[in-house]
Each structure stands twice: as structure tokens, then as C-alpha cells.
Structure 1
């Protein structure tokens, strides 16, 4: 059994509202154990004998069937999530800037996103791994930040999702 973190894209924003209790109920039909939902943004942890690719397909199908929307998730195992957090050079508790990590199920898509992000003025980016890119945004101005607007483009929604570094720490700790 492997412990995984699963990050849902676009939950409780843009009209896709899921109650975490309903999400847990739907996930109970999958071959997973120890499901814990975290925060209302659609993060959960679980254990399974399935691979990360298999779990991604199972969860996306479950969400589409149970909640009727085009669901996309990024799946990362416990060790990999811990390594990504450790690799992040930005602080988790800076009051002036918030640290974010964009997670991707496609390294090629993240390559494109990173290249476009590097063309933006004043954007701090650090590639943590093929599937993760860390960046900073001013506190209180995340959604208006140029890189946040870039990551929100429709062409990235099926393969990427972004989380605050503090959220990733909470997800990692829930897998302990």
C-alpha cells in the first residue's frame, strides 16, 4: 500500500461545489483506505495498492460520475510530496509574500508554463521537480498576480493545480 495525496482542480470555485462529506462517501467506492479530506479546496489523502496513474484515473472517473463535472486531479505519493516541500526555497509563513506550488500531471505542460512565467516581470519561479513549480505572490494579491492569471488559463486546467505551501505542509502532515 502506498500513501498518496490527491489534489482536485477547481473545487469550490467557479460553481463546482463539493461537500467534503459527500466527497468521502464517493471515494469509499474506490479501492482505497484511510481517506481523509483536508480543507474545503479538495485535497485528500489515502492509501492504495494502485499506482499513481491508476489512482488518478479512478478518482477522476469517480468525481465525474458522482458529481457530474470534468474532474482533473494531480496525485503525488507521500515521499515525493515531502521532497517537493523540502526543495521549496520559499518560506511558508512570510507575511508579505505567499509561497505557492503549481503541481502538474504533465512535465511538458509545466515546461510551457514555466517558460511563459519567466517572461513575466518580477515573478520569482523555482522548478522543484518535473511535476512542481514554486512561485511567490504578494499577500492579498495572489489572484491578481501575473503568474496566477497565467496558471488559470483553460489550457492548463486538465493537468495542473496550485496550492499554497502551507496547504502542502498540512497535507503532508495528514499522511504521517
Structure 2
């Protein structure tokens, strides 16, 4: 059994409401073990013998069946997520700023988003490429209004990206 982190995209926003107890129950019924959720934003740690691709497919199918929506998830093993958190290139405690990590399952989409870094106003936000992720810091109050925030919200990226606050990821790993 391997321990995995599964990040659900777009739940408990925009009309897709899932209680974490219901999420845990659905995953348990599907045969996953040691299921733990963090916050109400779709952060799950679980055990499974499946590889990451099979786990992604299975979890998305479970979510579609149990909650009736087209689910998209990002799967990472715990050590890879720890490396992502440890590699955050900006000051995660910078006063007045949010530290984010953008996860993606499509390299082309991450490359497109990464290319925006040169066009961003560094007084408002910065983006840096990581290992299969993008690191983003943005002034508090500007997350959805910023150029990068607007770009990541495009429908094109809906099925392939999800963003988490670095502090949330630290809690997931705790």
C-alpha cells in the first residue's frame, strides 16, 4: 500500500458541494484505506495499491458515481508533495501575500501558464516553474483579479489544474 495525496478540483465552490464525511465514506466504500481529509476544499490523503494513473481514474469514477459530477483530481505521492512544499521559491511568510502552488496534469498547460511569468507585474504577483508545478505568490485581495489568477480560471485549464495555498499543503502533510 502506498500513501497518496489526492487534490480535488473545484469542490465546495461553484455549486459542487461535498461534505468531507461523505467524501471519506465514498472513498472508503471504494476500498481505499486510511482516508484523511484536510479542510473542506478536497484535500485527501489515502492508502491504495494502485499507481498514480489508475488511482486518478478510479477516484474520478468514484466521485462521478457518488456525487454526480464530472470530477477532476491531481494525484501525488506524499514524498513528492513534501518536495514541492520544501521547494517553494518565494518567502512563504511574506506579509500581505498569498503563497500558492498550481498543480497540473497536462505539461502543455503548465508551460503555457508558466510563460505568463515574464508579463506579470512583480509588485502584484510572481510565478516560478517547479517540478511539475508552478509556484505563485500574489498580493492578498488580488488572487482572482490578477493576470495569472484570471488565466488559471480559464475553462481550458479546468480539467488539468488546481491551486492550493502552501499553508494548506503543509496541513495536508502534517
The match for 2:86 is 86
Q: Give 5+ residue unaligned stretches, structure 2.
A: none
The match for 1:153 is 154
The match for 2:56 is 56
The alpha carbon displacement at 1:167 in A equals 0.6
Q: What is the distance in 1 between the residues matched to 2:31 and 2:52? A: 13
Q: Residue 32 of structure 1 contacts residue 47 of structure 1 at CA under 8 Å; is this kept in 2?
A: yes
Q: Residue 9 of structure 1 contacts residue 42 of structure 1 at CA under 8 Å; is this kept in 2?
A: yes
The alpha carbon displacement at 1:34 in A equals 0.4
The range that moved more, 156-165 or 104-113, is 104-113
Aligned length: 172
Q: Residue 3 of structure 1 contacts residue 45 of structure 1 at CA under 8 Å; is this kept in 2?
A: yes
The range that moved more, 153-162 or 104-113, is 104-113
The match for 2:164 is 163
The alpha carbon displacement at 1:145 in A equals 1.8
Q: What is the distance in 2 between the residues matched to 1:31 and 1:119? A: 46
TM-score, normalized by length of structure 1? 0.93
The alpha carbon displacement at 1:47 in A equals 1.1
Q: What is the distance in 2 between the residues matched to 1:62 and 1:117? A: 36
Report the 3-state secondary structure (helix = DSSP H, G, I; strand = E; otherwise coil) of the residue aligned with 2:164: strand
The alpha carbon displacement at 1:120 in A equals 3.0
The alpha carbon displacement at 1:117 in A equals 4.1
Q: Residue 60 of structure 1 contacts residue 72 of structure 1 at CA under 8 Å; is this kept in 2?
A: yes
The match for 1:127 is 129
Q: Give 5+ residue unaligned stretches, structure 1.
A: none
Root-mean-square deviation (CA, aligned residues, Å) is 1.2
TM-score, normalized by length of structure 2? 0.94
The alpha carbon displacement at 1:119 in A equals 2.6
The match for 2:40 is 40
Q: Residue 100 of structure 1 contacts residue 163 of structure 1 at CA under 8 Å; is this kept in 2?
A: yes
The match for 2:31 is 31
